[in-house]
Structure 1
Amino acid sequence: MPSHGATGTMTLLSETDATSAREIHTLRLEASIDGSVVVLTDIDCRTPGVRREVRYQMTVVEFIAVISANGTQSTVELPEQ
């Protein structure tokens, strides 16, 4: 059975400065171009004039294992259509 990797980007957290309406902290989850790696990017602009980016990555298989081991399971069964 063929399988395909993930695509796209999702913002998990975004913090905006109340006075300037400028985005100052963002956590973003995205798939690599080939879909084999998940990347969590932490972008911190809270210090004026400094943009700090930290990236964490793991394979999609590792990511699924972490969620399965630590997440709360919710099962839904629907009739086939």
Structure 2
Amino acid sequence: MPVHSAAGTMTLMSETEAPSEREIRALRLEASIDGKAVVLTDIDRRTPGIRREVRYQMTVTEFIAAICAQRTPSIVEFPDQ
């Protein structure tokens, strides 16, 4: 059975400055270029003139294991059609 790699980007959190509507903080989850890992990027522009970017990377398998270890499963079964 073929396994496909990760793809795409998702913004998990975004904070904007009220008067200017400028994004000052963002937390994004995206696939690495090769699709073998997921990257969590924390972008912080709260200090004027400074952009701080921190990246956390783990394999897709490690990411799935981390979610399963920390959360309670919600199981829903649907009939095959």
Q: Which amino acid aligns with 2:64?
A: I
Unaligned segments of structure 2, at least 5 residues: none
TM-score, normalising length: structure 2: 0.97
Q: Which amino acid aligns with 1:70?
A: Q
- The answer to whether structure 1 residue 15 and structure 2 residue 38 are counterparts is no
Measured against aligned partners, the alpha-carbon deviations of 1:17-69 in whole angstroms (never above 9, x if no partner) come to 00111000000000112211010000000000000000000011100100010
| Percent of residue pairs bearing the same amino acid type | 73
Question: For residues 1-81 of structure 1, what are the structure 2 equivalents within 5 Å?
Answer: 1-81=1-81
| Number of residue-to-residue matches in the alignment | 81
Divergent runs of 4+, >2 A: none
Unaligned segments of structure 1, at least 5 residues: none
SS of residue paired to 2:54: strand
Compute the RMSD of aligned alpha carbons.
0.6
Q: CA deviation at 1:71?
A: 1.4
